[in-house]
Amino acid sequence: MPSTVLVRSLFRHAWTLFLFTKSDIKTTLIPISIFAIASAPIHSASHVPHVVFWVWLHLLQFDVSNQLMDPDEDNHNKPDRPLPAKRISYRNATIMRWALVPLCWGLSALYSSYVLCASVALVAFTVIYDELHAHSGHFAVRNVVNAAGFASFELGSTLISGTDPSRFTSTMLLAISISAGIFATTIQAQDFKDIRGDSLIGRKTLPIVLPSVARPTLLVALLVWSLSLTHIWRLDFTTACTLIALSCFVGVRFVFLQGEKDDQISFYWYNVSLSV
């Protein structure tokens, strides 16, 4: 009986951790893991679990921090998350949020000082975004901090994926720089589906501040980046056409299919295009 209780308790805690990160598995964990494997390039398949776990642990650190900011909002929009579902108290979640920081840094230090620097940067951008309220500030600041955070994710995970976690390559740095630019100019794709909720709490996202230009400029940005990537990476004709067509498809969806449900679906397709 005691062993059964222990197993149930461990499973409950593990499921609580999963629920903190559930909504970002498709939007962050999968795209960044794919990015790291493609950009290193990966030295061995045995590196994949290291990459995925490093990204997930840092994602957990970010998500716990983010969900502590406004738990009342999740009571209405995402009641299955651990705080509104009463799976963990606000106090215990706060303790876990800060306990995860040295855990992330300790794991990163096992790989190299460069991975540790990426982890420190990611924690710093998390604090800026959440505790210093960049998430509720001007959309330009929000986009830049978002892009810097994603770049930190990509730097650490790509170093772990490669042959030597203490060595940069020109391909790696170019890929991360381009990716940061893409995020900084298109990450507003995640804000369309949240217009109603963001308006209620006073957030100044691009779709709220400049609703008439937010959608068409996203289409243009996606198309420009696709054409640029085709040139930079010297893609073959079929791959280039696939990338450009997918970007156009995503951008056109955002322009012509408006509404919370359609924007949610379009955001999923946006993440597919990022992975590609």
Backbone angles phi, psi at 138, to 5 degrees: -65, 145
Residue 110 structure tokens? 């096992």
What pLDDT, on a 0 to 100 scale, did the predictor assign at position 1? 47
What is the rounded distance in angstroms from the CA atom of residue 121 to the CA atom of residue 63?
16
188, 216, 259, 263 from 213: Cα distances, Å: 12, 6, 16, 16
76, 237, 247, 267 from 274: Cα distances, Å: 29, 19, 9, 11
End-to-end C-alpha distance for the chain, whole angstroms: 49
Name 204's bridge partners.
Answer: 138
DSSP 46-85: THHHHHHHHHHHHHHHHHHHHHHH-HHHHHHH-TTSTTTT
What pLDDT, on a 0 to 100 scale, did the predictor assign at position 109? 98
Longest dimension (CA), the chain: 63
Q: Which domains does the chain have, with CATH numbers?
A: 2-168 (1.10.357.140), 195-276 (no CATH)
Going residue by residue through the chain, which has 276 residues, state the pLDDT in tens, using 9 for 90 and above: 467 878 888 999 999 999 999 999 988 999 999 999 988 876 678 899 999 999 999 999 999 999 998 777 666 667 889 999 899 999 999 999 999 999 999 999 999 999 999 999 999 999 999 999 887 778 889 899 999 999 999 999 999 998 889 988 888 999 999 999 999 999 999 999 888 877 777 778 899 888 889 999 999 999 999 999 999 999 999 999 999 999 999 999 999 999 889 999 999 999 999 888
What is the rounded distance in angstroms from the CA atom of residue 191 to the CA atom of residue 53?
27
Residue 266 structure tokens? 């379009």
Nearest Cα to Cα of residue 151 among 28, 18, 21:
28
What pLDDT, on a 0 to 100 scale, did the predictor assign at position 77? 67
